[in-house]
Structure formats: structure tokens, C-alpha cells
Amino acid sequence: MMIATALPTGEECPTGLAPIRVALAGNPNVGKTTLFNSLTGLHQHVGNWPGKTVERAEGSCRCQDRSLAVVDLPGTYSLTSHTAEEVIARDYILRERPDVVVVVLDAANLERNCYLLAQVLELTDRVVVALNMLDLARSRGYDISPERMAKALGVPVVPLVASRGEGREELLAAVLGVACGSIQTHPSPINYLQAKPTLRELEHLLAGRRLQGYPASWVALKLLEGDAEVSRLVEAEVRPGLAEQIRDLLAQHEHEPAVLADARYAWIAGVLAAAMARPARSVVTLTDRLDHLFTHRYLGLPLLFAIFLGMFAATFRLAAPLTGLIDYGMAALASWTAAHLHWAPAWLSGLISAGLIPGVGGVLAFAPIILLFFVFLGALEESGYSARAAFVVDRLMHALGLHGKAFLPLLLGYGCNVPGIMAARILENRRDRLLCILVNSLIPCPARVAVAAFLVGAFFPVALQPVIMGGLYLLSLLMVLAAGFALRKLALPGEQSPLMMELPLYRLPSLRNLGLLTWWRLVAFLRKAGTVIVAASVLIWALSTFPTGHGPEGTWLAGLGRVLAPVAGLIGLDWRMAVALVTGFVGKEMSLAALGVLYHADGQALATALQHQITPLVALVFVVVQLLYVPCLATVAVIRSETGSWKWTAVAVAYPLLLAGGLGALIYWGGRALGLG
């Protein structure tokens, strides 16, 4: 393989020192994560950046007896401060000062990709370019010479096919060379033309200031660009007189920010002129043909629904046996423990076999569905289809004050609110993300629907059942729209952010990427939600067990039910149903189990018992309330970790509760007024 600059001999680097710190930067969808996985293999850890809901992947690898610590920076198009990802990437490069920054470029989309490279070179000159997907670029008719590109850029350029691991060793050698100084980089400077005098003047004004460790030349660039964060920093760090001087200077040159972008693209054009030959005519590619289909004016939407219907069907079809197996295993384990703990006091054996084990089982039962959703979601994301889905549904999402990208998180909510809320990360700004998370609380997951289906089956004639179930879905959809409207007016004002996204080339998802991504997301979920769910299961067990000796009616849980009874009574529910709603908070399907215990019946017998105790109207009230009232505990745990705010978590719990109560009252008293029940 060719390497664009001289290879280091390896002896120049002393061994046994601190690991070389390498950061991977690049646009989204350029194969950065594939490269990261190919470099680090299983020696990696995925968590969050401190205080941010942006994934942070770190790993290590060895090359020529040196160990390298690799950080995968979030994929960004630029290094401004408009998204959390951009701030993380630039702060890491500026503050943590990695030994080498590897900028991964998509060779098939070089011009736009180089914009980020230009901005990275404004921060540091210790850069190695990884030129990925050169094969794809060739198939589109681009002829790119890595050697000439390296010469034009002044930094090493290593061609890669990350998906096949090709070029890995050459890249590591170049990284090592730059880190140890055996390869000297001399990045070709960007000519800022008319903006130059202003930049020089700003630099002069800033010279000698502390600026929190940021270089003055970069701060000057960002000031001229009108970067909000850097402007705040400067206001805080320099004396007021100087700040005023800087403001005046910027006001005189307010047309220059555009010059900077032009200067970068002019620099890019220069580099590409030396390194790349474009095809005379554009080649019709697979992406063109697939896009013609998937973004088709009439076929786009039906195809989208077919794809997602298939995804849901496959998820539940594949998850059902796994969930069944886990349930069966946990039940067997519980009865085995109960049988073998006869020597222990009743409370201890109960705690383990009726509290702890079902709690752990409850968490594990989530795993197959969430795992499969993550796999499908990752595949849609990697293949490039999810951007097309966002395009196709963009207009429908305007009804909610969101754009097309919010579709996926909301749709996933119909499978399980947990991955739905976690998927809201793809939205760029906080308002959209919060709105998407908050309305997700109202989307009925299959567990809520299962409870509804049981009661509807017990109380209404067969012919009416599909109508009622359909009506319930429609009702929840209306509530989502109404909540979206109300939240926008009351809590989350702000303009709808416009849709602006890349439609990446289609490609086959890599199984290795999918596997690793899914694994880390699942671990994150189990760690966050797991402990909460187990603790709550034990609590519910204790409430429903003690004090012993008075039957289910004598427990604390029943006592709680009686306390809630006057409130529940306002919408026609008795204390048992109040208890069922409380237990349903832990896991929606548990409300049926609670009703079973309280009515001393199970399955069909429970249906009969309920028919004798409550009217269809009350049953309908219960169904509607439990469909909407609160997100389950796992969902609340995820809302807390994704919003990072107890206030918004409280809102996400409180407003559906009020909404459900209000609707319940409306149905109950409306029904009574109409002479039903």
C-alpha cells in the first residue's frame, strides 16, 4: 500500500512511555466508527461525555510496541458551537490536546468533507488524514491521488477501506510518525483574504490574554465568525474596555464571516485541483436508483410503512420466544429458590423469590425487545435509509412542531418507549429533543396495549373490540398531537427548526459495527434502568406482602389503595384499580397481575370476576387511564438520564397523569350523564 509520506522507522519512538493519545474526527457517515472498531477491536469502552447525552467511545490498540489511546469524537460537519457534538469535538482537540488528530474523510464526498478538515487544521497541525471509501469514490468516477493530496495538504494521507480493515497498519504507522516527530506536518495555510487585517487586529487585541488556554489566532477566527460560546468567553476574560473595542471592530466588519467560509472552500478547491480528477459526466449510481424509489412522491410513504411494519413484526416475532424463555427461567429460578430456602425466615425467602428474582426478570424481559430494536435501528441508520424516512415524513411531523428526524424516536415508542426516548438523541437542538421525549410518554407501548386488549376483550362484544382498540390508538395519537401543541405553547416555545440533513450514500451495514453498537447501548440501558427497576420491584413486593397475616386486603399496598380511593373514585375506579395503577408504574403488564391478586382470580376467571364487580363504563375508564397515565419506571429512568433534568422528568410524569385523569373523568361523567354504567 502507498503511504503519502515517509514511513517512520519505528526506532525513533522510545517505548514504554505514556500511551499516544489519538482522536478520530470526521463527518457523520464516513466510516469513522468502523475505523474505530477496526483499530481498537474489543478493547473499547462506550459511555457518555460528562454531562452530555452524546456517546463517548474510547479504546486502545498497540503498534510497534507503543500503546495508543483512541477517542472517537462525535461525527460533525463543522466545529462551530451550535450542537453539543461540535462543542465536544472542538473542546477535546483544543483542551485535551491529543497527540494526533485523525480526520476521516469520505473520498466519495471529498469537497464537503474537507470543510471539517480545514477547521481542524485551524486548531492543530498534528493531523493525519484517513481517506476512506476510495473504492466507492472510484466507482463514482473520481480519480483521487493520496500522494498528491498529501503534498497539497502538507499532512500524511492514508487510503483506507475501513470496512475491510485495509490500510489500518499504514494509518497507525503515520499516526506514530506524527506523534513521535519522525513525520513533520506543514499544513498548507488557508488564505483568509479580505478578513486577514481584521483577524490580525483581533489577534493583536487578544495577545497576552488568558482565554482559558485557547490560542489567540483561533479565538480571533471564532470571534469574527460570531461564535456565541467564544464571544461569551472573551467577554468574561478581558476587561470591559477591551471587550468594547472588540465589539466595535467586529461591528465594522460584519460582512466578513462569509469570507471565512469562502476562504476555506477556496483552500479546498486548491487541494482538490491538485489531487482529484472529476468524471466528465456524473455516473448513475445505486444511490440514485434507490433514492428514486425510497423518496418517490407516491411510493415513498407506503414503502416506509412496509419497512417499519416489517421491523416491528420481526422484533416481536423474534423477541417473543426469548422473552418467554427468560420468564420461564426466572419463574423456575424463583420456585427453586423458594423451595430451597425453607430454612430461612419467610420474609427472606419471599424477598429473594418474590421480590428480587422477578425484579431482575422484569429487567431482563426488556432486553430482547430493546436489543432487537437497537439492531434494526442501527441497520437503518448505517444503511442510509433513516435519513430518507425523515425526508418522507417531514411534512407529517410539522403537525407536532418537529421535523422529519423526530419520526423515528416517536415511531419506536410504539414498540417500547425506552429505545424511542433514547433515539431522540438524533435531534440537534434541545427544544426538539425535549418535545420528542415528552410526547413519547403518551405513546402506548405493547404492554399498555396488552392490558387494554384484555379488558376490552372481557367487557365488550367481539364485533366492537377492533373498533374500540382502533379508537384507543386514535385517541392516543390525538393526545400526542394535543400535548405537542400545548407543550409548544406553554413550556417549549421557539421556532420549529428547519430540516437540513445529508442524505448519505446507501451502503450495507457492517455486522461488527451493529454488534458493538447494540451491545454498548444495551449495557447502558441495563445499567441505568436495571437498578431502578429491581429496587422498585422489591419495594412493590414489600408493600404488597407486609404486614402479613391479613390477606391481600390487609397490606400496605391495599392501605395505599384506600388512601387513593377517594381520588380514584372521582373517575369511578375502586381502591383495587388504584392499586393496579400504582403497580403498573413498575411495569405496565404488572397492573393485570395486581388485579389478579386483588380479585383472587387469573386469566379468564379474572375477566369473569371483573364483569361481576365493575361496569363496562368503569372498565373503559380504567383502560383509557392506564393507556396514558404515566410512563413506566424504566422509561422514567431513561427520561431522567436523557434529559439530565429532574424538572423535565417530573413534567414527563405529571402531565400524562393529569391528562389521563381528565380524560377518565370526562368519559366517566359523560357516560353517566348519557345513562351508561
Helices (H), 384-445: 385-397, 407-413, 417-423, 430-440
In this complex, which beta carbon is closest to another protein, that of residue 136 or of residue 472? 136
Contacts of 460 (CB under 8 A, 6+ apart): 468, 616
Q: Does 404 help bind another protein (rule: CB under 8 A)?
A: yes
In this complex, which beta carbon is closest to another protein, that of residue 49 or of residue 265? 265
Number of residues that bind another protein (CB under 8 A): 38
Q: Can you tell me which of 496, 560, 615, 661 binds another protein, judged by CB under 8 A?
A: 496
Shortest gap between Cβ of 203 and another protein (angstroms)? 21
Shortest gap between Cβ of 492 and another protein (angstroms)? 18
Q: In what order do the strands lie in the sheet with 20-26?
A: 44-48, 55-63, 66-72, 20-26, 100-106, 127-132, 157-160
Q: Can you tell me which of 72, 85, 225, 382 binds another protein, judged by CB under 8 A?
A: 225
CA geometry: angle at 511 spanning 510 and 515, to 5°? 125
Helices 32-40 and 511-545, axial angle in degrees (round to 10) = 80
Distance CA 677, CA 669 (A): 10
Cβ contact 66:19 at 8 Å: yes
Q: Can you tell me which of 189, 197, 226, 566 binds another protein, judged by CB under 8 A?
A: 226
Q: Can you tell me which of 486, 491, 503, 523 binds another protein, judged by CB under 8 A?
A: 503
In this complex, which beta carbon is closest to another protein, that of residue 259 or of residue 618? 259
Q: Can you tell me which of 42, 462, 490, 500 binds another protein, judged by CB under 8 A?
A: 500
Q: How far apart are the first and last CA of the chain?
A: 80
Q: Can you tell me which of 21, 52, 56, 82 binds another protein, judged by CB under 8 A?
A: 82
Distance CA 650, CA 214 (A): 39
3-state SS, residue 511:
helix
Q: Does 257 help bind another protein (rule: CB under 8 A)?
A: yes
Distance CA 299, CA 302 (A): 6
Distance CA 579, CA 189 (A): 70
In this complex, which beta carbon is closest to another protein, that of residue 502 or of residue 553? 502
Q: Does 258 help bind another protein (rule: CB under 8 A)?
A: yes
Count CB atoms within 10 A of the CB of residue 229. 15
In this complex, which beta carbon is closest to another protein, that of residue 99 or of residue 428? 428
Cβ contact 71:21 at 8 Å: yes
Q: Can you tell me which of 92, 115, 622, 648 binds another protein, judged by CB under 8 A?
A: 115
Q: Does 145 help bind another protein (rule: CB under 8 A)?
A: no
CA-based radius of gyration for the chain: 30
Shortest gap between Cβ of 450 and another protein (angstroms)? 36
Site residues (CB under 8 A) for another protein, limited to 516-535: none
Establish how many alpha carbons lie within 13 A of residue 170's alpha carbon, considering only the half-sphere containing its beta carbon. Answer: 21
Residues 227/230/232/235 CA torsion (nearest 10 deg): -120
Site residues (CB under 8 A) for another protein, limited to 344-403: 387, 390-392, 394-395, 403
In this complex, which beta carbon is closest to another protein, that of residue 265 or of residue 669? 265
Q: Does 657 help bind another protein (rule: CB under 8 A)?
A: no
Q: Does 78 help bind another protein (rule: CB under 8 A)?
A: yes
The contact mask relative to another protein for 93-112 (x = CB under 8 A, - = no) is ---------------xxxxx
Site residues (CB under 8 A) for another protein, limited to 260-319: 261-262, 265, 287, 291, 295, 297
Q: Does 498 help bind another protein (rule: CB under 8 A)?
A: yes
Q: Does 432 help bind another protein (rule: CB under 8 A)?
A: no
Cβ contact 417:445 at 8 Å: yes
Contact positions toward another protein, by CB under 8 A? Answer: 77-78, 80, 82, 108-112, 115-116, 225-226, 257-258, 261-262, 265, 287, 291, 295, 297, 387, 390-392, 394-395, 403-404, 496, 498-504
